[in-house]
A = this chain, B = another copy of it.
């Protein structure tokens, strides 16, 4: 038996991805929530999948909704930090929007489990998830604000709600087709600029957006 954090013995060898017991619990829960369903998964089932006792799981998470909250939060932490950094950056809006969409699509494609599929759960409307909802609303607001700053008289302001939705369509495509579309990190940001009626040099914007991501010390790929 190996040690699991503060003195709890593990039932067997490590079964999950993750450097820490907490990460292993999150990985197991993410798999069960996305393949079996949130309501149909118990903390007992998660503990079994990790190979630990249920009591050990409760040392890390007091309840199943705390695990869901931690997983959901991971899906927006990176893009939200980037969106905040972009507010203080001198990049023009089309470059900032492209950089945000590029980064966000990449992380939605790269995530081991398609956790965004859980965004539509009715359980997320509970007060427990208010903080997550506020953070995701903030991210959505950054997309809308950047979209609104792009100069293109041909589309109405209501179109500014759509770039965020096109980015999150990666979740639906992964769910239906088992994988994200090839080169989604270029396809979707390009489509966003076209959709907003922006008719400049998209190739130039793409290069500038990669530069912004490098400058802000966020991984470009």
Q: Residues on A close to B: CB < 8 A?
A: 34-40, 117, 119-123, 136-137, 140, 154-156, 158-159, 161-162, 165-166, 168-169, 171-173, 175-176, 181-183, 187-188, 190-191, 194-197
Given contacts A36-B122, A120-B120, A176-B140, contact A165 B158 (CB under 8 A): no
Given contacts A34-B122, A191-B195, contact A183 B158 (CB under 8 A): yes
What are 6 A-B pairs with beta-carbon distances under 8 A?
A: A35-B122, A36-B122, A120-B171, A155-B190, A155-B191, A161-B181
Contact partners of A182 in chain B: CB under 8 A: 158
Interface of A is mostly: helix
Considering the chains assembled together, what is the distance between the CA atoms of A34 and B136 in angstroms? 20
Copies of this chain present in the complex amount to 2
Contact partners of A40 in chain B: CB under 8 A: 39
Closest to A191 in B: B195
| Pairwise interchain contact A173-B181, C-beta atoms closer than 8 A | no
Taking A162-B166, A165-B172 as given, write out 9 further A-B residue pairs in contact, using a Cβ cutoff of 8 Å, ordered by the A residue number. A36-B122, A37-B39, A39-B40, A117-B122, A119-B176, A155-B190, A155-B194, A168-B172, A191-B195
Instruction: Give the Cβ gap from A36 to chain B, nearest Cβ, in Å.
Output: 6
| Pairwise interchain contact B117-A120, C-beta atoms closer than 8 A | yes
Considering the chains assembled together, what is the distance between the CA atoms of A155 and B193 in angstroms? 11
